[in-house]
């Protein structure tokens, strides 16, 4: 390759265009025409010229994609029009109801719909001012989002500057930032190798990446985008279909033409949906359904909104993706509380963006109910959760030698007896010092939901345990540089990172600390209740069962477990060691709002809220003296119902003493 040299401004513009072309070949067509090395040389030349001519740098220069600055958190920005979510339909009948509602409201059946992919990523609103990308906001609460401009600029398929005539002074487009399945898989492989927590799915990976503070890191995540909307679009285009064409002209990324369709009837929409569903597996990115929008934008205003959904559009969600594979073996995993979980070891199969080789079988009852045997051909499914499950067995393919599985009588890790606890389907290893349990406890202790010690994931903890450097959680706080340097791949930077995050975790709220101890039956809710009640760890260790059961939300079984945990000398010694090794347990904040209508009331939350995350809502309740519970019972006072409520809502409606609150009611009571 001839080395490029920029002499004139025209050379500079040519080089920009050349690099943009290469980005297109690489990121959009996935067919690079030059090597990475050659690309880097061109980029270096561009950057050299820009350094010498800072006043002449153009907005669309590829060098502007990654800014140097590391943000200290995100500013907030207000959306020019609300970012709403769509009402979901899950069956063809429900889809038909949506179409009929539109016909009825418009008083005609002569309506065209634009059907398109429902990309499974994270929503974004991007503003171009005089054609230049100036701001990108996440959806946030629909009114206000996080300003992630620097991160969005790293998306190579997105123009930094729009070319062409008649570009409005301000153009705010809406789309979905996503991660390709392949990129997601590679990212998780690397994270696993580094002992970091893997992302559950490409959607989480995309959303997580957008929230990184260092745009350079975001750039490595190779995010992509598809755009499907314009805020206040009526002033720019007249139909959704035309919007796609408009975007195409401006080189704003849209779905492939095969992936949107103008339909004139429910039948056509269903045909399109079935076609897309059949292609879903082969797509390089994840979708979770299709979106159907009334095509004529003038009709959108006429149809309006119901609460927070538009009446002119709906999502039609596909069933979770399934795959067929074979059970090669059933093994046992020992959890942190000693529960033995049977796990199906599968012939590796690709499903929803990752290769699956294991699926949980929950317990013996579940195995018997589904009649699952070793050697069976099974259908597996990956729903919203990370861990896939076995849905059913293909009995027509059952081999004669398919083996019935029985739970072992001994723990596979420490060979102690297994005990069956009354009224529980689970069986547990009876040895509290079982090394399988201990390692799981350590991993849990450092995990995000407990002490949240970054850089101390499964792999690193496994190595520390194996080397005998960490035998119990309090040992983590004694680790030093020389010990960490014995770990494979641990150099100066990784050692510093880990020691810093250990240090950071030392200041810790009482409820988090309680969670991290891994007391049987003590999850987040119980830990919060205990922290609020006892205020400090010392008081807690002395509480008796009679005291504990007076706490609303704590029953006898949980109280027994807490008492027996604090009766154990070893546990008390471990708590002393934590304090000795530098942990500072912080008392819960005093509640300010006693006397509030929420005081002493029990809430259950169901569905998603527009203005708050669930934990924000729970905190607001707690700050006002109320508490939250995960189950609806006669003790429930209020059920706060968001979008797509679950069965809790149905149950609550049947109990006369429960007050059902909409988000609006909740806000006014606050
Ligand atoms: S239109 C007024 N079109 O699905 C609603 N959304 O619950 C505007 N999504 O928040 C959204 N693909 O993040 C629209 N082709 C598409 C989409 C799409 C994915 C996401 C988007 C939105 C959610 C709807």
CATH code for the domain of 30: 1.10.287.610
Give the tokens for residue 331. 């093994």
∠ CA 336-339-342, nearest 5°, is 115
Q: What is the CATH number of the domain that holds 414?
A: 2.40.50.140
Residue 297: partners with Cβ closer than 8 Å, 6 or more residues away: 233, 234, 237, 238, 239, 240, 243
Range in 381-385, 538-542, 627-631, 637-641 with the lowest mean pLDDT: 381-385
Domain boundary among 291, 317, 343: 317
> Average pLDDT in the 494-521 region?
92
What pLDDT score does 590 carry?
Answer: 66
Are 142 and 610 in contact by the 8 Å Cβ rule? The answer is yes
Q: Percentage of the chain with pLDDT > 90?
A: 53
User: Taking phi first (over 0 means left), then psi (-120 to 50 degrees means alpha), and beta for anything else, what does residue 431 get?
Assistant: beta
DSSP at 130: T
Q: What is the CATH number of the domain that holds 140?
A: 3.30.470.30
CB 660 within 8 Å of CB 632: no
- Residues 60 and 84 both lie in one domain: no
Question: How many angstroms separate the CA atoms of 62 and 158, rounded?
Answer: 11
Verify whether ligand 1 is closer than 6 Å to residue 356 (CB atom): no
Residue that finishes a domain, picked among 373, 394, 428: 428
Q: d(Cα 300, Cα 237) in Å, to the nearest integer?
A: 13
Indicate whether 242 belongs to any domain: yes
Pocket test for ligand 1, best of 79, 89, 118, 174 (most atoms within 8 A of CB): 118
Q: What is the mean pLDDT of residues 661-670?
A: 85
pLDDT band at 103 (very low <50, low <70, confident <90, very high): very high
Question: What residue numbers bound the domain in which 14 lies?
Answer: 9-64
Q: Which neighbouring-strand residues pair with 584?
A: 507
Among 272, 292, 317, give the residue marking a domain's end: 317
Confidence of residue 307 (pLDDT cuts 50, 70, 90): low
Residue 271 sits at the vertex; the CA angle it makes with 29 and 242, to the nearest 5 degrees, is 55
- Residues 282, 364 share a domain: no
Helix 569-580 crosses helix 556-567 at what angle (to 10 degrees)? Answer: 70
Task: Tell me 135's DSSP state.
Answer: E
pLDDT, tens digit (0-9, with 9 covering 90-100), for 176-220: 999 999 899 888 888 766 666 778 788 889 999 998 988 999 999
Q: Cβ distance 346 to 356 under 8 Å?
A: yes
Give yes or no for a contact between 28 and 285, defined as CB atoms under 8 angstroms apart: no
Strand partners, 200: none
The answer, yes or no, to whether residue 251 has pLDDT greater than 80, is yes
CB-CB neighbours of 386 under 10 Å: 12
**Smallest CA separation from ligand 1 atom 18, residue:** 118
Q: Got the DSSP string for 227-293?
A: EEEETTGGGT-SBHHHHHHHHHHTT-----GGGEEEESSHHHHHHHHHHHHHHGGGSSS-EEEEEEE
What per-residue confidence (pLDDT) applies to 155?
Answer: 97
Average pLDDT over residues 128-141: 93
How many whole angstroms from 353 Cα to the centroid of ligand 1? 20
Cβ atoms within 10 Å of 159's Cβ, excluding its own: 19
Which residues are known to be catalytic? 118
Same domain membership, residue 249 and residue 137: yes
Verify that 135 and 254 share a domain, yes or no: yes
Q: Best of 229, 260, 303 to mutate for ligand 1, by most ligand atoms within 8 A of CB?
A: 229
546 occurs within a structural domain: yes
Q: Is the CB of 247 under 6 A from ligand 1?
A: no
Shared-domain flag, residues 39 and 80: no
- Atom from ligand 1 closest to the CA of residue 310: 2
165 in a structural domain: yes
622 or 522, greater pLDDT: 522
Q: φ and ψ at 138, to 5 degrees?
A: -75, 170
Q: In the prediction, which pLDDT does 31 show?
A: 67
The answer to whether 139 and 218 are in contact (CB under 8 A) is no
Residues 332 and 257 in one domain: no
Answer for the pair 49, 80: CB distance below 8 angstroms, yes or no. no
In a domain, 456, yes or no: no
Considering only residues 612 and 153, tell me which one the structure prediction assigns the higher pLDDT: 153
For every residue of 452-506, DSSP letters joined together read --TT--HHHHHHHHHTTS-SSGGGGGG--HHHHTTSTT--HHHHHHHHHHHHHHT
Same domain, 260 and 119: yes
Which pLDDT score, from 0 to 100, does residue 67 have?
62
Looking at the structure, tell me whether residues 237 and 350 fall in a common domain: no
Residue 210, C-beta contacts closer than 8 angstroms, at least 6 positions apart: 122, 124, 138, 148, 151, 152, 177, 218, 223
Lowest mean pLDDT across 236-250, 464-478, 585-599, 638-652 = 585-599
Residue 249: the pLDDT is 94
Q: Is 228 in the pocket of ligand 1 (CB under 6 A)?
A: yes
For residue 290, the CA-to-ligand 1 centroid distance in Å is 9
Which whole number is the average pLDDT over 376-399?
Answer: 85
Query: Could you say which DSSP state residue 538 is in?
Result: H
pLDDT score recorded for residue 27 = 64
512-564 residue pLDDT tens:
999 999 898 888 888 988 998 888 999 999 999 988 887 767 888 899 999 99
Ligand 1 centroid from CA 226, angstroms:
11
Atom of ligand 1 nearest to the CA of 255: 15
Between 263-272, 414-423, 547-556, the lowest mean confidence (pLDDT) is in: 547-556
Q: What does the DSSP assignment read for 400-457? A: TTPEEP---SB-TTT-PBEEEPTT-S-EEES-TT-HHHHHHHHHHHHSTTTT--TT--
- Residue 536 to residues 436, 510, 512, 590, Cα–Cα distance (Å): 31, 7, 12, 13
pLDDT of residue 266: 97
pLDDT of residue 505: 94
Q: Find the length of the chain.
A: 670
* Residue range 35-93, pLDDT digits in tens: 767 787 888 899 889 989 988 888 888 888 876 555 557 888 999 998 988 988 989 99
Buried b / exposed e over 492-510, threshold 16 CB at 10 Å, is eebbeebeebbeebeebbb
Question: Whose CA is closest to 326, among 341, 343, 345, 342?
Answer: 345
> For 167, phi and psi rounded to 5 degrees?
-90, 125
* 284, pLDDT greater than 80: yes
Task: State the Cα–Cα distance between residues 466 and 308, nearest whole angstrom.
Answer: 53
Cβ of 176 less than 6 Å from ligand 1: yes
End-to-end CA distance of the chain: 67
Residue 571 has pLDDT above 80, yes or no: yes
The answer for residues whose C-beta is within 8 angstroms of residue 272's C-beta and 6 or more apart is: 115, 261, 263, 290
Q: Indicate which residue's Cα is closest to atom 23 of ligand 1.
A: 85
Element (H, E) at 42: helix 36-52
Specify the pLDDT at position 383: 61
CA distances from 162 to 117, 130, 367, 493 (A): 24, 8, 57, 41
Does residue 481 fall inside a structural domain?
no
Please report whether residue 362 resides in a domain.
Answer: yes
Considering the domain architecture, whether residues 192 and 297 belong to the same structural domain is answered as yes
The mean pLDDT value of the chain amounts to: 88
What is the pLDDT at residue 72?
52
Confidence class for position 172, pLDDT limits 50, 70, 90: very high
Average pLDDT over residues 300-325: 88
Does ligand 1 have an atom closer than 6 angstroms to the CB of 155? no
Contact between residue 226 and residue 255 where contact means Cβ atoms under 8 Å apart: yes
Banded model confidence at residue 347, pLDDT cuts 50, 70, 90: very high
Where residue 513 sits, what CATH number does that domain have? 1.10.150.20
Q: Which has the closest alpha carbon to 112: 285, 258, 239, 254?
A: 239
**Cα-to-centroid distance, 197 and ligand 1 (Å):** 28
Does ligand 1 come within 6 angstroms of the Cβ of 253?
A: no
Q: Concatenate the DSSP letters of all residues of 140-200 into one string.
A: TTSSEEEB-HHHHTT-TTS-SB--SSS--SEEEEEEEEE--HHHHHHHHHHHHHTTPPPPS
Judgement on whether residues 286 and 341 belong to the same structural domain of the protein: no
Q: How far is the CA of 632 from the centre of ligand 1 (A)?
A: 31
In this prediction, residues 353-361 reach a mean pLDDT of: 83
Give the chain's domain count: 5
Q: Could you tell me if residue 597 is inside a domain?
A: no
Half-sphere CA count of 232, side-chain side, radius 13 A: 9
State the distance from the centre of ligand 1 to the C-alpha of 600, rounded, in angstroms.
39
Given pLDDT bands bounded at 50, 70 and 90, which one contains residue 622?
A: confident
Judge whether 464 lies within some domain. Answer: no
Give the per-residue pLDDT at 69.
53
220 and 259 in a single domain? The answer is yes
Same domain, 219 and 356: no
């Amino acid at each position: 390759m001839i080395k490029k040299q920029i002499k004139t401004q025209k050379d500079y513009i040519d080089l920009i265009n050349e690099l943009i072309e290469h980005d297109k070949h690489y990121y959009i067509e996935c067919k690079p025409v030059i090597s990475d090395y050659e690309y880097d040389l061109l980029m270096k030349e561009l950057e050299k010229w820009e350094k010498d001519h800072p006043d002449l740098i153009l907005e669309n220069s590829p060098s502007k994609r990654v800014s140097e600055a590391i943000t200290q958190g995100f500013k907030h920005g207000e959306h020019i029009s609300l970012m709403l979510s769509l009402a979901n339909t899950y069956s063809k009948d429900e889809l038909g109801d949506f179409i009929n509602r539109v016909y009825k409201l418009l008083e005609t059946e002569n309506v065209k719909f634009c059907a398109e992919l429902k990309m499974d990523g994270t929503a974004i609103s991007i503003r171009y001012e005089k054609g230049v990308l100036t701001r990108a906001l996440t959806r946030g609460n629909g009114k206000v989002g996080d300003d992630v401009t620097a991160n969005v600029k790293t998306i190579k398929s997105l123009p930094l500057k729009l070319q062409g005539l008649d570009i409005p002074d301000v153009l705010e487009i809406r789309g979905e930032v996503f991660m390709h399945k392949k990129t997601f898989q590679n990212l998780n492989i690397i994270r696993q190798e580094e002992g970091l927590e893997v992302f559950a799915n490409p959607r989480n990976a995309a959303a997580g990446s957008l929230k990184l503070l260092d745009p350079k890191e975001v750039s490595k995540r190779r995010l992509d985008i598809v755009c499907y909307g314009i805020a206040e679009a009526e002033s720019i285009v007249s139909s959704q279909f035309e919007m796609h064409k408009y975007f195409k002209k401006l080189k704003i990324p849209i779905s492939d033409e095969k992936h949107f369709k103008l339909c004139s009837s429910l039948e056509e929409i269903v045909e399109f949906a079935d076609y897309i569903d059949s292609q879903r597996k082969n797509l390089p990115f994840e979708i979770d359904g299709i979106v159907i929008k009334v095509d004529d934008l003038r009709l959108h205003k006429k149809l309006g909104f119901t609460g927070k959904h538009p009446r002119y559009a709906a999502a039609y969600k596909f069933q979770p993706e399934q795959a067929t594979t074979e059970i090669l073996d059933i093994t046992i995993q020992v959890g942190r509380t000693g529960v033995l979980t049977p796990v199906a070891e599968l012939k590796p199969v690709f499903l929803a963006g990752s290769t699956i080789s294991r699926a949980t079988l929950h317990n013996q009852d579940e195995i018997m109910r589904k009649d699952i045997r070793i050697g069976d051909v099974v259908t597996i499914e990956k729903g919203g959760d990370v861990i896939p499950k076995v849905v059913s067995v293909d009995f027509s393919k059952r081999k004669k030698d398919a083996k019935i599985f029985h739970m072992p009588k001994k723990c596979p890790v420490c060979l102690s007896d297994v005990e069956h606890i009354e009224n529980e389907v689970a069986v547990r290893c009876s040895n509290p010092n079982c090394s399988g349990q201990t390692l799981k406890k350590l991993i849990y202790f450092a995990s995000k939901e407990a002490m949240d010690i970054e850089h101390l994931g499964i792999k690193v903890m496994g190595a520390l345990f194996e080397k005998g450097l960490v035998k119990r959680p309090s040992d983590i706080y004694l680790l030093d540089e020389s010990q960490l340097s014995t770990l494979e791949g641990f150099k100066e930077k990784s050692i510093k990172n880990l020691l810093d995050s250990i240090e950071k975790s030392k200041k810790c709220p009482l409820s988090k600390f309680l969670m991290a101890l891994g007391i049987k039956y003590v999850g987040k809710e119980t830990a919060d209740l205990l922290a609020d009640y006892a205020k400090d760890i010392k008081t807690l260790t002395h509480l008796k069962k009679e005291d504990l059961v007076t706490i609303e939300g704590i029953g006898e079984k949980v109280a027994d477990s807490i008492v027996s945990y604090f009766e154990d000398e070893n546990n008390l010694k471990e708590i002393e060691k934590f304090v000795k090794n530098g942990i500072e347990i912080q008392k819960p904040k005093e509640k300010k709002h006693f006397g509030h209508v929420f005081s002493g009331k029990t809430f259950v939350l169901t569905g998603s809220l527009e203005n708050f995350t669930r934990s924000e809502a729970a905190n607001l309740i707690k700050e006002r003296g109320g508490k939250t519970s995960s189950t609806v019972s006669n003790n429930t006072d209020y059920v706060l119902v968001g979008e797509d409520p679950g069965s809790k809502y149905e149950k609550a409606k049947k109990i006369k003493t429960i007050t059902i609150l909409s988000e609006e009611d909740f806000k006014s009571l606050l």
